[in-house]
Amino acid sequence: MQLQIDRSDQPGWAIISPAGEIDLATVSQLEDALTASMGNGDTDVAVDLTGVTFMDSTGLRALLAANQNLSGSGHRLALIVAGGPVDRLLDISGVGQTLEIFQSLEAATA
Amino acid sequence: MNGLLSLRIAGDPLHLTTARSFAGSIARVLGLDEGNRQDIRLAVSELVTVLIRSGPAEVRVVAEVDTDTPLLHLHTDGTLPPIPSETVELLTALGVAVWSIDQPWVVRLGGAAGA
């Protein structure tokens, strides 16, 4: 399978860690994980994208939709990105003003 | 290497990774650096995604690699869909141009041309 997603929790945070490639074939897995993490409605969500080797705009749209949902309920979506193709996509798509992006999970959840 | 390189895939999202691998191979043939290879993989993934969403049975990618300006030709067995404006914006940011008047889409790899 192209994408594996681990989920864990820290106090106040649900953490999603996808590993692999996010595209039209796999984005539903990310959407399901985001929906499940947002389900209880009382935590912020961190998505650790450091294990993602490729992501196109289908993945970006899923993250933007989750960010909108979380913002609407007074919660945050934090992305952890450490260079590579994901960083490039976020850069050229100009979403840096919309999404909270960090270089480590520790920084995101501090 | 010269001439044409061609890939034929089923119109199924599961084959997007194959299209990206093909694009990466083309980029290597062109001698591009890692950053430009990633840009071309992203551009091809975006365009083939648009094609697959239109429901064709198959998608064909043909690369011209012996010209000053490398070109990709994207064909389907159906009618080419319009390219969403957000996809055009993303491709423009990547330095990739697409002509989509009729079959096939012709994609100019801007990063490759400048490499």
Give tens-digit pLDDT for A43-96: 999 999 999 999 999 999 999 999 999 999 999 999 999 989 999 999 999 998
Distance CA A10, CA A26 (A): 26
Q: What per-residue confidence (pLDDT) applies to B113?
A: 35
A92 neighbourhood in chain B, CB within 8 Å: 90, 93-94
Between A42 and B53, the higher pLDDT residue: B53
A85 neighbourhood in chain B, CB within 8 Å: 38, 41-42
In this complex, is the C-beta atom of B86 within 8 Å of any C-beta atom belonging to chain A? yes
Query: Residue B10: how many CB atoms within 10 A of its CB?
Result: 13
- pTM of structure: 0.92
Give tens-digit pLDDT for B4-23: 889 999 999 999 999 999 99
Helix/strand/coil for B46: helix
User: Strand (E) positions, chain B?
Assistant: 4-10, 58-64, 71-76, 96-99, 105-109
Determine the residue among A23, A52, A54, A98 to mutate to test chain B binding: the one whose Cβ has the most chain B Cβ atoms within 10 Å: A23
Could you give the percent of chain A with pLDDT greater than 70? 99
Mapping DSSP onto H, E and C, the string for chain A reads: CCEEEEEEEECCEEEEEEEEEECCCCHHHHHHHHHHHHCCCCCEEEEECCEEEEECHHHHHHHHHHHHHHHHCCCCEEEECCCHHHHHHHHHHCHHHCCEEECCHHHHHC
What is the separation of C-alpha B88 from the centre of its chain, rounded to a whole number of angstroms? 13
Give tens-digit pLDDT for A4-13: 999 999 999 9
